[in-house]
C-alpha cells in the first residue's frame, strides 16, 4: 500500500449529501432511542411485577431482542412483518422498528436493574413511616435508581447511534448508506469510510465523555 495516494477531497465531493445523511442518522437515533426508552421503562416495570403471567411474556420479549442480531431484527421488521400481518407499513417506519425494540429490550433490563439495585432497607424505612408503595417508588426508590440508570442509558444510546448504520441494509439513506453510494461513485472506499468513522467519532466522543462524568457523581 506504500504507493497509495490518499485523496480525501474525493470523500467530500457532496457535502450537502453528507449533511442530509447526518440528519437521517441523527433523526433515526433520536427517535428510536426516545421510543425505545418509553418501551424500556414500561417493560422494565412489568419485569418487576409480582405476577408471573406478566413477567414471563415481557421477559420473553426482552430475551428475544437481546439475543438475536440487530441486523436480523431490522430485516425481519422490514421484509417479514408486513408479509406476516398483511398490512403495509411505511418503509421508513418498518426500518426503525427493529432498532426501537432493540433499544427497548436493553433499556428494560437497565431500568429493572436500577430499581433492583436499591437496598431493601430503603423500602422498609419508607414503608415504616407509612408510605404507600407508589409513594416509596416516587419519593425514595426512583430518585436514587434514576441516577444509577443514566450512565448505562447513555452508553446504550451511544451504541444505538452506531447501530443505525445497519439501516443501510434496507436502503435508508443514512450516513453508512450514503457512504456506500459515494464509494461506488468514487472508488475511494478508504477515504470515504475513514471520513465516515471520523464523523461518528466526532458525534459520539462528547456523549461518551458525558456518560463518564455522570458515572462519577452517581451517589450523593
Closer Cβ to other proteins, 137 or 192, answer by number = 137
Q: Name the residue nearer to other proteins (CB basis): 122 or 180.
A: 122
* Shortest distance (Å) from residue 202 CB to other proteins: 35
Beta-strand runs (E) in 87-217: none
Binding site for other proteins (CB under 8 A): 119, 121-122, 124-133, 135, 139-140, 143-144, 147, 219-220
Closest CA to 193 of 175, 207, 211: 175
Short-list 108, 94, 99, CA closest to 28: 99
Residue closer to other proteins (CB basis): 22 or 48? 48
Least separation in angstroms between CB 14 and other proteins: 51
Taken as a whole, the chain contains a residue count of 220
Query: Could you tell me the smallest distance in angstroms from the CB atom of residue 209 to other proteins?
Result: 25
Cβ distance to other proteins smaller for residue 202 or 220: 220
CA dist 217 and 60 (Å) reads: 34
Angle between helix axes 15-47 and 91-116 (nearest 10 degrees) is 50
Closest approach of Cβ 160 to other proteins, in Å? 28
- Give the chain's end-to-end CA distance (angstroms, integer): 54
The grid coordinates of residue 63 equal 430475551
The minimum distance between CB 138 and other proteins, in angstroms, equals 9
Q: Which is nearer to other proteins, 117 or 208 (CB)?
A: 117
13 CB neighbour count, 10 Å cutoff: 13
Amino acid at each position: 500500500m506504500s504507493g497509495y495516494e490518499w485523496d480525501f477531497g474525493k470523500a467530500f465531493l457532496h457535502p450537502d449529501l453528507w449533511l442530509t445523511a447526518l440528519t437521517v442518522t441523527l433523526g433515526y437515533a433520536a427517535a428510536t432511542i426516545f421510543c425505545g426508552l418509553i418501551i424500556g421503562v414500561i417493560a422494565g416495570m412489568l419485569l418487576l411485577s409480582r405476577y408471573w403471567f406478566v413477567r414471563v411474556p415481557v421477559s420473553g420479549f426482552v430475551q428475544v431482542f437481546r439475543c438475536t442480531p440487530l441486523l436480523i431484527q431490522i430485516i425481519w421488521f422490514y421484509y417479514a412483518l408486513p408479509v406476516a400481518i398483511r398490512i403495509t407499513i411505511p418503509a421508513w417506519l418498518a426500518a426503525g422498528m427493529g432498532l426501537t425494540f432493540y433499544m427497548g429490550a436493553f433499556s428494560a433490563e437497565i431500568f429493572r436493574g436500577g430499581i433492583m439495585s436499591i437496598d431493601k432497607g430503603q423500602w422498609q424505612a419508607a414503608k415504616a413511616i407509612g408510605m404507600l408503595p407508589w409513594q416509596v417508588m416516587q419519593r425514595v426508590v426512583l430518585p436514587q435508581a434514576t441516577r444509577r440508570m443514566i450512565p448505562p442509558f447513555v452508553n446504550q444510546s451511544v451504541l444505538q447511534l452506531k447501530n443505525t448504520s445497519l439501516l443501510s441494509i434496507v436502503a435508508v439513506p443514512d450516513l453508512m448508506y450514503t457512504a456506500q453510494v459515494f464509494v461506488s461513485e468514487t472508488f475511494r472506499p478508504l477515504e470515504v469510510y475513514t471520513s465516515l468513522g471520523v464523523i461518528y467519532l466526532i458525534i459520539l466522543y462528547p456523549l461518551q465523555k458525558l456518560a463518564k462524568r455522570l458515572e462519577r457523581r452517581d451517589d450523593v
